[in-house]
Every structure is written in structure tokens, then in C-alpha cells.
Structure 1
Amino acid sequence: MTDPYARHDAALAVLRPYGPNLANGFINHAPMVVEALAAMGRGDTALSWLRAEEHDLLPRAPAQPPIGAAGWREALGKPARFEAWAAFFAREIEMNGWRATLDRWARRLSAGYGTAAVHGVIRTAHAARALAWQDTALRRSELAQGLAVWAARYAPLAPDLPAPAFGTLPPHEALAAVTPVALHWRVRAGSITAGLANLARAPGFARETAGADLSEEPLATADALVCTFAELFLDAARNGYTAIVFAHAVTGAAAARNLLPLVGPGAQRALIAGAWQTGCALKAVFYPPAPGAGRPVPARRTPDRLAEAAAVHGDDHAIKLAEACLSAYARTGRRRLLKTIALALTLLEPREGEAADPTRLLETQT
């Protein structure tokens, strides 16, 4: 069998000089995308994808004063301390092993699951999955950087949001009960992180999200969350902006699913709770005024064709969402996941300069 990660370390080597931010101020998605391409069996396209994106990447900052084992709480939520956190986690991984480090810090950081528009945990999960495939120095370094994004930008959804006391409803029914904030407070533009501040205007959020029964077997529960938030995407994604927003509910749940086999029961519970509350928060704050009547999508599509279409499309969110849905489809057989990918490819703009039309790959199947 061909190793889907055969070129992954080469891609990580290209990314090694670059930091967590882009020139436009947003998060650097490249480490997540190259791992998603590998997981989709398209790892041979990662280096060419990086060449087209490298001009937007910013170099890493110089080394910083270290974070001590007893003083890490003071450095939480301080983006300027990213390099110190990366060095901190590199030492933790060297001393304690990557699995023990991941388990400990997934538990500690899960209250900030939505950190950096969910990218802290998403990058960590992509890094950990590649590392579980093969332990290499570059992959350990990438895990340290993923955890560093999560810790340096750490921010709970709401300061007083309690841990959910799970109820009796299946996730899709509990999500339907989540009430969006008043229409004039719903966010229609700008950063996801800034928009999530409006969760404070949803007074029933803690009670409503506590209605979900997430007590089933963890892997099955996480797959149910991916499917539930894929349905939210189909319902609420109406344009490029809402497609990006609700893609993060899906990929956020997929991050939990990817991490669960690598951590212990305590971290598993914390990750599931974080993924659930974060996806619900995106509905509460960003749900559009008139959902339910999106663009038509091609009627026939196969997983291989969708993976190819996403790689050709080139948009980072399209690639990550496609991989999350295809992985869940392989486990669950839920064809609505394939429709989610097809809709995303119609709503998200292809990467600038791509000559191919990815939607044609969906229309011309036999």
C-alpha cells in the first residue's frame, strides 16, 4: 500500500520557517491543509499547493524567554508568546512523550475549544493524526506548534459557561433547540473569534446545550457530532462567509474525532464537550436570517471525485471540510456528508489562479 504521508515531512520542512499567522492577520492554515491532503490520499499535491500559498506566510518570531512548568497559566491567552509556548511543548514532548503531553494538555485546553476560531484544536488534531501514523521529529515539532496556537490564543467561549450537564436528546435534536441570538446581533461579516463574543447575548445557551446526550461511546458520539454539524452546514451555509463559519463546526467536531483514539477518558469527555458547545455557539451567533434554501448541488458524486474536486479547488476551508466529511463518510456511510462537500465547493471561491473549474468534476461523473 502506498503511504499517503510519504511526502508529508517534506511539506512540514517547507513550513518550518513560518509562524502561525498570515500576512492578512488570519491564521496560517497551511499545516492543516497539507495533512488533510495526505489523509484524503492527495498528499502528492501538498508541495505544489504550498508553493502557491507561500507568499502569504510570515516568518517565525525570534526565540522568547521560556515558560516555566509552574508559570504556564500566566502565559495562557497571550498570542505574542507563541514561540515560548512552542518551545515549552517541544520540551514537554521530549521529556514525557507526545501522547502523554497531548492527553494532559487536551484536558487543560478544552475549555478554550473555540480558540482562534477553532484552529488551535484543529491544527493540533491534524498534527497528532500524522504523528500517530509515523513518529518523526518534524511531526513532533508540528504537534508542539499546534498546541502552542491553542495555548497562546486560549479563550473560553464565555467566562462563566459551565461544563455541560448532558441530557437525553440526540445531538441533532438538541442542536435544533439552540436559540440564535436576536437577529440584529447575529454576525454577518468579520472574524469568527470577534463574532463569538456575541454569545453573551444568548442567555439560554448553557441550558439548551445541556440537553444533548453525549454519553454514548466516544468515537460514535464524535461521528454523530460531525454528521449533526454537516446538517447545520447544509441548512445555514448560504454564501462564502457562512460556508467558512459553519465549516468550522464540522472540522471542529472532526478534530475531536481524530484526537479521541490518542487520549484517555478524561480528555475524551472534555474534547466532546468542547466540540459540541463550540458548534452550537456558531449556530447561536452566525445563523442566517433565512436559512434552508441554498444553491442546488450536483446530484451524483463519489468520494474519489469529491476529493479530487477539493484538491483542484484549492481553498483551504474546502480541503479541510472535504477531508473531515470524507473520513466520516468512510465510517458512517452517511451520504449527506458528500452533499456537504459539494455545497461547499459551490459556495467557496476557488483559490486565486486556479485554472480548473472544480464544479465540472462534480457535473461530469459517470
Structure 2
Amino acid sequence: MTQPESTATLDEALTRLHTTGPEHLGRLSNHAPMAVEALVRHGQAAEVHHWLNSYRDKLEEMPAAGNIRVDEGNWRAFLGDPRHLADWIGHFGRCLEERPWREVLAQWWPRLLPGILGGATHPVIRVGHAVRTLLADGEAAPRTAELAQALGYWAARHLPPAAPVTLSGTRDPARALAAVPAVPSRRGSVLDRVSQLPATPGWPAAVSAPRPPRGPEDARELLTELVCAAVCRYAERAHGEPVMLVHAATAPNAVLRTLPALPRELWVPGYTAAWLSSAAVTAAYAPDGPLPSAAPAPGTAEEAFERAAAHGDEHVIKLADTALDVAAAAPERAGTALAAVARACELVERPA
């Protein structure tokens, strides 16, 4: 649990942010709620409002609600329709006023999970940060409101794959991720690239190659391995696209963070969807080969996050947040995980 004064800072920041929308410039994600939660979680609460002030040019007002009301009878008709983003957020706000947040999450997780690629995986990442706050710091109005915003964003940007993913191979996550083929044309938006996946040579076999989990605990272990593999790959392959490849690690880590709040029967499908998200981003932005960083790796986790916070970019902060999870879960890989933070600081442009 964070210190009370730090939790108060996070609540203030979330309240400030909830007057803004989940996106700006039509489709780019508002990363502020995720970044400020990571800053608070790693001892940088004093920097939160300064960081928000520097980010304000990327914030836009919440879009206006439409003339519909999403409910249990009609939600399928509006799933994946970003024109109803505010309507979806309003729906989850009402749900969370009426029922416990874990109950709402458990109901909607299997509905939303197939669309994990929506919004370039940012909605599920935002859900992961919101759930971590609720689990670590308890319920409060700004924290449940943040979950409503995150779930609403996911519902509005829901994007299922062209074909369902069934894991039927024998590979561990690291070997499976290393074997993912690159899409033929590595140009254009993430949607342009992901749309090539069904026709990418080797993709159908690669996406099904991981071994299926033997049960909930195995799914959590495999998910932990997947996050570790994605972070460690970033240390040498971030040059493929240093911003977008962050999400190959942070999206599955968001699922991992959410598991403790979910019924155990939802853990296995969580791993499958997380694998898809990491594999898809890897395929979309994979470079031709490794290129290690020349920058020295931070010596400690604290130094790594301080370096990320000083850099200031939201993606660098979020990658560092996930890299510290890897360093704690797999101490033998800590050096590579922290090197990934150095690589992000080196390649991602600093905010003006």
C-alpha cells in the first residue's frame, strides 16, 4: 500500500483527469492516468502534478454523450463503436455505483477480453493500472471512477482478432515470441499492420505455438514468463519502434495485474489474450535483428525508475513500471530488465 499522502495525490490527479477524454487528436490514447499511477507507485508522487502540467497539451475534454443509454439489453450493438465512448463510460459509472467493482469486472472481463487489441492495447493497460490501485489502496470514488473510464474506453475501442486464437503448441513464451514473424509491410498505423496478420506467412502457426496452460496457476506463471520475455526483448529490439514495442510488455502485464481480482476460471483465457496482444505488437514492429544499447544499465530498480521519471515520456515511465515488476519476479533477469529502461530512455524522444 502506498503512503496516505501519495494516495491522496493520486486521487487528486485522477479527479483532475476525469474531466478529460481517453483520447486526443481523434485516436491517440490519453496516457496520463496510467503514468501518474506508476509515478505514485514508485515513490514519485511529488512529481505528479508537475508532470500533469507538462502533459496538458495532450489532454482534450471528454466527448459528449450521445442520445443512447448502454444497458444489458443493447450493449452488443455498441461494442467497438468509439462514437459512444462517453456513453460506455457512463454505463460503467452506473454499474460501479450499483455493484461491487470486482463483480462488474468479472462480468465484463470475458466480454471485453477478445477485443484486447482495441485502442492499440491501451484500454486493457489502463484497466490494469486501475485494478492495481483498487487492490493496493482500497476503494475510493476517484479509483472506481478510473475503472469505469478504463472499461468504457475498452468497450468503445473493442477490436477482436480476425480469427480466434487457440494455443496448441509446446513452446514456452520466450521461444514462441522469438518465432513470431514480422508483417510484410512495416508501415502505417498499428491497425494497418495488425490487419496484415492473417495473411502473414507463418503467423497462424506462430500464434498457436505456445503450449496451453494446465490450469489457473500455470496460466499465471506463463503470463509472468511472457512479460519477462517481452521486456528482455525490448532491451535489444526496441529500435524496431521504441514507443509501440513498449506495449508488447505492458499489455500482458496489465492482464497479469488484473488476475488477482478475477475468478480463477478467467485466468487461462487471460493468458491466451495476453499472448495475442504481445505477439501482434511484436509482429507489427519487429526489427530485422538485435541492436543492444550502448547506454549503461541502471544499477538498481530505484535508479531505473528515477531515470524514467526524469526522462518524462509516458511510455518510458510505463515500461519502467513493468520492468521493475520483472526485476522483482525474476531477479536473474533483473539486469536485462533494467537495461530495457535504459534503452527506452535512449531511443524515445524526450518531451519538450
**TM-score over 0.5 for the pair:** yes
Q: Does 1:114 align with 2:113?
A: no
Between the aligned partners of 1:105 and 1:130, the Cα distance in structure 2 is: 19
Question: What letter corresponds to residue 108 of structure 1 in structure 2?
Answer: R
Q: Does 1:222 align with 2:226?
A: no
Between the aligned partners of 1:339 and 1:220, the Cα distance in structure 2 is: 23
Following TM superposition, by how much is the alpha carbon of 1:243 offset from its aligned partner in structure 2, in angstroms? 0.9
Q: Does 1:304 align with 2:302?
A: yes
Following TM superposition, by how much is the alpha carbon of 1:342 offset from its aligned partner in structure 2, in angstroms? 1.0
5 Å-filtered alignment, 1:32-47, equals 32-47=34-49
Q: Deviations over 1:216-275 (max 9, x none)?
A: 623322210111111331232116xx1112100010111011101111123222221111
Following TM superposition, by how much is the alpha carbon of 1:282 offset from its aligned partner in structure 2, in angstroms? 1.7
TM-score by length of 2: 0.92
Q: Do the aligned residues in 1 keep the contact of 2:190 with 2:284 (CA within 8 Å)?
A: no
Q: Does 1:319 align with 2:300?
A: no
Between the aligned partners of 2:9 and 2:199, the Cα distance in structure 1 is: 46
* 5+ residue gaps, structure 1: 353-366
Deviates more, 1:7-16 or 1:161-170: 161-170
Q: Do the aligned residues in 1 keep the contact of 2:235 with 2:341 (CA within 8 Å)?
A: no
Q: Do the aligned residues in 2 keep the contact of 1:6 with 1:43 (CA within 8 Å)?
A: no
Following TM superposition, by how much is the alpha carbon of 1:318 offset from its aligned partner in structure 2, in angstroms? 0.2
Q: Does 1:283 align with 2:290?
A: no
Question: What letter corresponds to residue 84 of structure 2 in structure 1?
Answer: R
- Identity %, equivalent residues: 33
Aligned equivalent of 1:208, options 206, 214, 222 = 206
**Structure 2 partner of 1:26:** 28
Question: What letter corresponds to residue 285 of structure 2 in structure 1?
Answer: F
Q: Does 1:81 align with 2:79?
A: no
TM-score by length of 1: 0.89
Q: Secondary structure at the match of 2:196?
A: helix
5 Å-filtered alignment, 1:1-366, equals 2-3=3-4, 4-23=6-25, 25-64=27-66, 65-132=68-135, 133-158=137-162, 161-182=163-184, 185-187=185-187, 190-215=188-213, 217=217, 218-238=219-239, 242-288=241-287, 290-333=288-331, 334-335=333-334, 336-352=336-352
Q: Do the aligned residues in 1 keep the contact of 2:220 with 2:271 (CA within 8 Å)?
A: no
Aligned positions, number: 343
Q: Secondary structure at the match of 2:222?
A: helix
**Structure 2 partner of 1:355:** none
Following TM superposition, by how much is the alpha carbon of 1:277 offset from its aligned partner in structure 2, in angstroms? 1.0
Q: Secondary structure at the match of 2:299?
A: coil
Q: What is the root-mean-square deviation in Å for CA atoms of aligned residues?
A: 1.8
Q: Do the aligned residues in 2 keep the contact of 1:85 with 1:148 (CA within 8 Å)?
A: yes
Question: What letter corresponds to residue 12 of structure 1 in structure 2?
Answer: L
Q: Secondary structure at the match of 1:18?
A: coil
Following TM superposition, by how much is the alpha carbon of 1:174 offset from its aligned partner in structure 2, in angstroms? 1.6
